Amino acid sequence: MFRKILIANRGEIALRIIWACKELGIKTVAVHSTADENSLHVRFANEAVCIGPPHNKDSYLSVQSVIAAAEITDADAIHPGYGFLAESAHFAEVCKECGLTFIGPEPAVIRSMGDKAEARRTMDRAGVPTIPGSDGIVPDVEEALKLAGPIGYPVLLKASAGGGGKGMRIVESDDDMERLFTSAANESMNAFGNSELYMEKYILEPRHVEFQILGDTHGNLVHLFERECSIQRRHQKLIEESPSTALDEDLRARMAATAIKAAKAVDYTNAGTVEFLLDARGEFFFIEMNTRIQVEHPVTEMVTGIDLIKEQIRVAAGEPIGFAQDEVRIAAHAIECRVNAEHSETFAPSPGRITTFHPPGGPGIRVDTAAYAEAVIPPYYDSMIAKVISCGNTRGEAILRMRRALESFVIEGIHTNIALQRRILADEDFVRGRLSTAFMERFLGPGKKVSA
């Protein structure tokens, strides 16, 4: 087992990793920018190293600075959390070259699954169903127009090198193609340094369902069932839950088997997620594989009782997975709401100082956060303040507990999206489990686009 782990991240996920390390008897090193010098992950780690000024590229995205911090503190492993360098194959390679264990999959897997066109080809070869689309990169507008006809409008242009909705455009007709192709390519270049796009059929109002997987170096590969992630704004998830209301036992088993097949196709190790679109007929299609722990991993932990962060660390240390597939059970229903520093109506970012912070509690409630009264939410990073997770014996109980939790969550000094989350939880379609990726478009109504 590791002696000391450096956490190459910040905020609530850094704290989450620290808690897991404490339970495993492992010392921790926090890295931080000058903007985060008073953060809780800095306070509760055994050691802390400042790695640069506030902007990502000068601190949390600086491979040289992170590696130097690991070397001067004599860490023997690095946990990247999510975001920042978590899906950087280059960073994983540098860790290996420097004798540091990267707590995640092999660099080659990160690279192949991070290239969305290559990931699609890999899944096609493995017999995993994919959405009809281009066979690799679409080089220019002329080729895009040739491909769109046989695929059938609407089509979706997607950045090959990225995710999170960047470099993504829905094209309804030939007339829109040139403008939207150029727009998607430019956005992809700005976000990822790569303008390459690929194309796929746009499926109207599907559900977004992902399966949590975990593999070790002993040949064991398991799934921990699904998470429903259909409630999104600008392709960013707002609410996740497990199990999905759309899956019966047969469909769940088929999707789980396909997720395992996808993971086996790349010899996957450590924690990851296989993501699908599920249409109204019950057909599902691979969309991507996330080669890291997900923001919404607590949903799975609450439902199965398995600590994913500790399993990540054990697997990276060479230990086998601590349970067999037939031991994994869906023992409850869990829902996660992401609380962000943004206005509930305008979605404008709201950085600043928190003057009052009172997180909810009570039966079936978990709050993952690094916020506190007088903490400053800086403008440089993701706006998420906290994740509220409710758990109940039924979905109805989980919804009621989440409503109670959001009603008693007090954050003052900045705007948050708690009011928006409460409205969603009261929506009849949500309560009845009638979900799709178009949910927020309908919910916000005319004049309030999801992309606003």
Whether 434 shows a pLDDT value over 60: the answer reads yes
**What single letter denotes the amino acid at residue 212?**
Q
Count the residues in the chain. 452
Q: Cα dihedral sign for 341, 355, 420, 280? A: positive
pLDDT in tens, 123-156: 999 999 998 889 889 999 999 999 999 998 999 9
Q: Write out the two tokens for 209.
A: 């369902």
Least confident of 301-305, 395-399, 446-450: 446-450
Query: What are the residues whose beta carbons fall under 8 Å from the beta carbon of 115, sequence distance 6 or more?
Result: 160, 161
pLDDT, position 451? 39
The whole-chain average pLDDT of the chain stands at 95
Distances (CA, A) of 357 to 43, 44, 354: 18, 19, 7
pLDDT in tens, 13-32: 999 999 999 999 999 999 99
* List of domains in the chain: 4-103 (3.40.50.20), 132-201 (3.30.1490.20), 207-444 (3.30.470.20)
How many other CB atoms sit within 10 Å of the CB of residue 303? 25
Share of the chain above pLDDT 70, in %: 98
| Residues acting as catalytic residues | 292
Whether 421 shows a pLDDT value over 50: the answer reads yes
What values do phi and psi take at 51, rounded to 5?
Answer: -115, 10
Q: Write out the two tokens for 301.
A: 């932990």
pLDDT in tens, 78-137: 999 999 999 999 999 999 999 999 999 999 999 999 998 899 899 999 999 998 889 889
pLDDT in tens, 327-382: 999 999 999 999 999 999 899 999 999 999 999 999 999 999 999 999 999 999 99
b/e code 50-70 from CB counts within 10 Å (16+ = b): bbbeeeeeebbbbeebbbebb
Contact 302, 308 (CB under 8 A): no
pTM above 0.85, yes or no: yes
In angstroms, the CA 323 to CA 222 distance is: 9
Least confident of 154-163, 209-218, 348-357, 401-410: 154-163
Whether 57 shows a pLDDT value over 90: the answer reads yes
Q: In what order do the strands lie in the sheet with 365-369?
A: 284-290, 270-278, 207-215, 221-233, 236-242, 333-340, 384-392, 365-369
Contact 269, 217 (CB under 8 A): yes
In angstroms, the CA 101 to CA 94 distance is: 10
Assign 449 a pLDDT band (cuts: 50, 70, 90).
Answer: very low
pLDDT in tens, 225-249: 999 999 999 889 999 999 999 999 9
In angstroms, the CA 242 to CA 229 distance is: 9
Contact 208, 246 (CB under 8 A): no
Contact 363, 340 (CB under 8 A): no
Assign 307 a pLDDT band (cuts: 50, 70, 90).
Answer: very high
Assign 447 a pLDDT band (cuts: 50, 70, 90).
Answer: low
pLDDT, position 452? 31
pLDDT, position 191? 85
The stretch 294-318 carries a mean pLDDT of 98
